[in-house]
Amino acid sequence: MAMSKMRRQEALYGYLFILPWAIGFLLFTLGPMIASLVFSTWKWDLLDKPTFVGLRNYAVMLKMPDFWHSLGVTSYYSFARLPLVLAAGLLLALMLNQRIRPLGLWRTIFYLPSVLPMVAVSMLFIFLYNPDIGVINFFIQKIFGVKGPRWIFDERTVIPSLILMSLWWVGSNMLIYLGGLQGIPTELYEAAAIDGAGVWSRFWRITLPMISPVIFYNLITTLIASFETFTQVYVMLGNRPMWNANFFMIYLYNHAFRYYKMGYASALAWVFFIILFGLTLLTFKSSSFWVYYEAEVKGGKKENA
């Protein structure tokens, strides 16, 4: 009886400890999600009485060229940025895994930019990308003797400029990669070296398979973050960016807080959620072909741990 009473007390304490999180989740996450789903079936401008329109917002959305264009811009940016950020983070992690000294200092130098406020970084890059007085074009002029591009101020180079800027936050991926690299047993490399495996062979056959769960994690988080790009575009280009930089989140923001079409904006948010959910699900489905987990043999059959 005493043991049963102790377990009930432990359960009660557990529920009490998670209660603040549960209340916050209901009020600030689940509640707004359900409300936005209801709003997506309304025509509402925050001032007049909402009118139920059913699925009309979704039907109108699919006929809007701006919707498809903003989705295309976001997809182009996301899928072009994804391999660059993943590869850059892995390259930095491989360099720092060589036990260079002082290792802690180098980790801090490469990781620190990723924790700086995005607004402050965006303001910095406005100066760096300035075609007339920017630091980047100054060095291009001095080194190559040619005038640099207009970067974010030109339709043709705005997306490549934003992709290049995204490398500023690669330190967070680098740190996760580094943890995965340091978890690889050194015995594997020693055995491979004895068997005559070269550097590239050890990288492809040991390093990549062993850190594939880390790559998978960084792939998911980077993909979601890329599609949710908003702050740097809003700060650097405003809520009326050029046509080639009309990201989906800017498009949604304008309909919600500039045109006050809350019903249409809620429908956009749910379509965006479905797209991200679908991409994440596809990534999870593909992981069985390329993500390796430590396994154990049970009854002669290999099972994922």
Tell me the C-alpha distance between 286 and 291, whole Å: 8
Using DSSP's 3-state secondary structure scheme, residue 298 falls into: strand
For residues 159-188, average pLDDT: 91
Phi and psi angles of residue 268, each rounded to the nearest 5 degrees, phi first: -60, -45
pLDDT tens track for 74-83: 999 999 999 9
What is the pLDDT, as a whole number, of residue 302?
Answer: 45
pLDDT tens track for 248-266: 999 999 999 999 999 999 9
Contact at 8 Å (CB) between 74 and 68? no
What is the pLDDT, as a whole number, of residue 298?
Answer: 38
What is the pLDDT, as a whole number, of residue 197?
Answer: 84
pLDDT tens track for 45-62: 888 899 999 999 999 999
Over 50: is that where the pLDDT of 305 sits? Answer: no
What is the pLDDT, as a whole number, of residue 303?
Answer: 44
The token duo for 171 is: 């330190």
Contact at 8 Å (CB) between 149 and 157? yes
For residues 31-40, average pLDDT: 93
The class that CATH gives domain 65-304 is mainly alpha
Q: Is the dihedral of CA 141, 146, 147, 152 positive or negative?
A: negative
Tell me the C-alpha distance between 262 and 265, whole Å: 5
Of the candidates 175, 130, 135, the residue with the CA atom closest to the CA atom of residue 150: 130
